[in-house]
Amino acid sequence: MSVIAFIPARGGSKGVKNKNIKMLAGKPLIAWSIEQALDCDLIDRVIVSTDSYEIADIARKYGAEAPFMRPAEISGDHATTESAMLHCCDYLESKDELPELFILIQATSPVRAKNQLRNAVLNFKSNEFDSMLTVSKSHRFTWKNMEEPSASYNYNMRPRRQDIAEADQEYLETGSFYIVKTNELIKSKNRLVGKIGLFETAEDESYEIDSEIDFIICEEILKSKLD
């Protein structure tokens, strides 16, 4: 089964300038995801999609492919990740190189346990999923609507964490990576489709980098794993 890891990395970033190539624990942010994908023996190719020549050069330096530049019309602030995924599929189909599995890896989630991608692919195959997303357990009580507040739990019977039944356990979508059958991605134009699997990761893998504070937190986590 052919498997491609796809890493989207736009040049523009409002929260943190040049976020995808900002240094994090000794290497550019995007390098962490590239090296983790290359370390997985079940992944055949690692492709970076970007509209930035600088990002493309750095991606190649760390071993990924950057075989095309992403068009401006799918590189703006309102462009979806799916549009970039489908653009890559169009490119691969033109080369007769479409994979069976397509793994979307978010560069903004650099913390992943060793062999995590490998374990996820094996889990995906053994359960015959059509798509999969990473999640981590959430023990937070959430509310919505400031005008008419409503809670995600029964506040008249506030549950203790240890008493939450497995069927009632809520999970946070981490955004770290997604796996989808390529043919299903192309048909649905969505990363999540059909029989969806949840792949649970540790809480420290749920951090997404969107701010300078996130960089500080993730850097400390990565350094602790390197020690």
Could you give the residue numbers annotated as active site? Answer: 158
* Helix residue ranges, H only, 52-129: 53-61, 81-94, 116-126
Q: Which two tokens stand for residue 218?
A: 């993730």
Q: Are 132 and 179 in contact (CB under 8 A)?
A: yes
Q: Are 58 and 30 in contact (CB under 8 A)?
A: yes
Q: Are strands 3-8 and 45-49 parallel, antiparallel or unpaired?
A: parallel
Helix (H) or strand (E) holding 226: helix 212-226
Q: Are 120 and 42 in contact (CB under 8 A)?
A: no
CB-hemisphere CA count at 13 Å for 152? Answer: 11
Q: Which two tokens stand for residue 31?
A: 């390098």
Q: Which two tokens stand for residue 74?
A: 């799918």
Give the residue from 95, 124, 87 showing the smallest Cα distance to 3: 124
Q: Which two tokens stand for residue 216?
A: 């500080």
